[in-house]
Structure 1
Amino acid sequence: MDDQPTPDPTMTRIVEAVQLGQSGAGPQARELLTSLWDEIGPTGDALHRCTLAHYLADLQDAAEAELVWDERALAAVADLTDDRAQHYHHTLQVQGFLPSLHLNLADVHRRLGHAGPAREHLDTARSLVAQLPADQYGDLVRAGIQHVDQALAAGSTHRLDSHPAAAG
């Protein structure tokens, strides 16, 4: 079976904007993704909404804005089916998205000083991470859970060095 995603012009635009952000052009990437969100709309394709919101959260300057996008990503995944995800790429499963989405919510709640919701999302991420394979993605999420757990235990509200925006 082919390991390349099925052509999807919207996903291509999302990926291109994400790559732009990862190359250090965060404000431009944020502008592109925000404009694309306006095109997709809050009831558009769930894969597009989830993916876009997940990455757009990382491009926010304020934790409050990041929380809004992380919550949108989690809401969108509730509308996503394995069939839709696998239409884009045969390896995708909705359950594989959940640990990362909950991890992001745990981290942003931690940074906002919301220890209770941070612990709840961290516990959920921890309970779901066993479903991830022992690969680079799974290892990244597992390490993220450990980092957020340690920061939460220490009472830290600072952005972690492992946060995607810290690299940009």
Structure 2
Amino acid sequence: MHVFVTVGSTRFDALIHRVLSDDVLAALRTRGYSTLVVQCGNSDWDASSFIQEGDDWRHAADDMTIEVWRFKPSLQEEYERADLIISHAGSGTILDVLRLGKSLIVVPNETLLDNHQEELANALEDLGHLKASTISDLPQTIRTLEDTKLMPFPPFNGSRFRELLDEEMGFVAGPGDRG
């Protein structure tokens, strides 16, 4: 089974260090994962135990293959290949993954100035679409994740956006403007 970790275009050293830690790797192995691919962005991490192959770094030990790279033009292929995705709580990443129906653990970046990532993660967790975690709780979140308990994310409804825009622009009466 395959895990993909992404920090998007951000720098999120704490998440990268945590997913490469012994306790997270052990939690992943316990759940049957054998491949871990990490998109680390501009994060700083210790590559000394990895072998560099072009722009990627690889490490194989204890029945798990680990690949780390910084950026690729698209993450779509990685999303599709993954059985589990662990991500920063960026809205674009969350929507891309949920639309694919993938199991998702999000870890808000607490170093950001506001808490919009935490608010989004908690709201979507409350709706049952994903699991939110902290850096310190990540191993436990992985061990207790029950994929079958996550609610499918509703499909995109383009007409809803048009309705909201029409309402905002005054082309139609809003719910509070009736009668």
Choose between structure 1 and 2: higher helix proportion.
1
Q: Which structure: larger Rg?
A: 2
TM-score, length basis structure 2: 0.31
Bigger fraction of residues in strand: 2
